[in-house]
Structure 1
């Protein structure tokens, strides 16, 4: 399936789909050791334009960034393609909504595993605060006052002058409300190197 097919299926501009694919390609290369297949097509003016040709696994990985209804459309479309490949001319019953949601959950879970790989062995602010015998609220306030972190858009961020030193990593969490609305939350976690840095700044023997 090409990125053009995905754009048409989801009702999204092709450029938006290309941006989403490029953004997720780095994590994919890290895990699989290869980039997505980039090909060309002729637009309405006869000019060559880039697009991606993706396998089923690659498509479902990209779909982790999509809304539930778009993920379901991709899952169903791949089932149709597989039936066509097998030459099955019989009308097969479409999967139940429960099956579609279960498949979507598996896709989300695999996507989160890849996205959170760098933050796998890191500690949350609550966990680090306990090593300094502080509450999470006091811990965050102390780091803010010391210029180590700042709060923006409802989340804590490492100060710009400390970026790139391996002190922190980003963790992604997905949850659903009782109405089925998806909520995605990104938050900062601390690496072992970051914990050593905090220890040197706060002067507490937490090692």
Structure 2
């Protein structure tokens, strides 16, 4: 598929044909592409938990479901043949930028204008979304409730240094096509050239 077609077709898909298996080579390609995300200082401070069987995905739902208002969270009701939880690793960036070639002598984070470990993990998640579309699949990025992250970590043995920035559900779409063009904001509301104007 041409890149412009991938961009045009990318949308969040929330319902999948869970009976249709994911080809292993497609899953491997999606993960290989995720690893090519940019990372500050080539720190590569991201990691992925791949859940590709329904028992593990059910455990994820149970771990990610908050006690109050579970219907507000996609994580609580997701049903997909594949789930990839994307993590950022702040320590990898702090360690990398304390190396001599980066000009810092400590692991301080107060000089970072934004948390690039999360930004880079987010770019990695976008590559997962785009790779899924390129393979003819649907995908959806969604967050985990903050109060359930400790339960998720414990349930799947995720080290404390890794923060789940979100998960991507992937599968063959079981949704009718939708036209989102009427909901899309005009480019003039979002793009400003030369000077930000209202």
- The two structures have a TM-score, normalised by structure 2, of 0.31
Larger Rg: 1
| Structure number with higher helix proportion | 1
| Bigger relative contact order, structure 1 or 2 (CA pairs below 8 A, ≥6 apart) | 2
